[in-house]
Chains A and B, each alone.
Chain A
Amino acid sequence: MIDFELSEEQQMIRDTVGAFALDEIRPAARPADESGNIPQALISKVAELGLVSGAIPETLGGDGGERSAVTGAIVAEELACGDLAVAIHCLAPRLLAYPVLEMGTDEQRGAVLKRLAGAEFVVATAAVMEPRWDFDLTELNVTARRDGAGWIIAGDKCCVPLAAESETMLVYAKSAAGKGFGGVDAFIVPRGAAGVSVGEREKNMGLKGLATYEVSFKEVRLDADGRLGGDRGINYSRLMSESRVALGAMAVGVMRAAFEYARDYAKERKAFGVPIATKQAIAFMIADMAIEIDAARLLLWEAASRLDKGADALEESYLAKNYAAASALRVTDNAVQALGGHGYIREHPVEMWFRNARGFSMLDGIATV
Chain B
Amino acid sequence: MTDAPPRVGVITFPGSLDDRDALRAVETMGGEGVGLWHADHDLRGVDAVVLPGGFSYGDYLRCGAIAGHAPILDDVKAFARGGGPVLGICNGFQILCEAGLLPGALIRNASLRFVCRDVFLRVETSQTPVTSELVPGEVVEIPVKHGEGQYVATPEQVRMIEGEGLVVFRYANSRGEVGGAANPNGSLADIAGVRNGAGNVVGLMPHPEHAVDPDVGPTGGQPLFASLLATALERAGATA
Please say whether chains A and B are actual partners in one complex: no
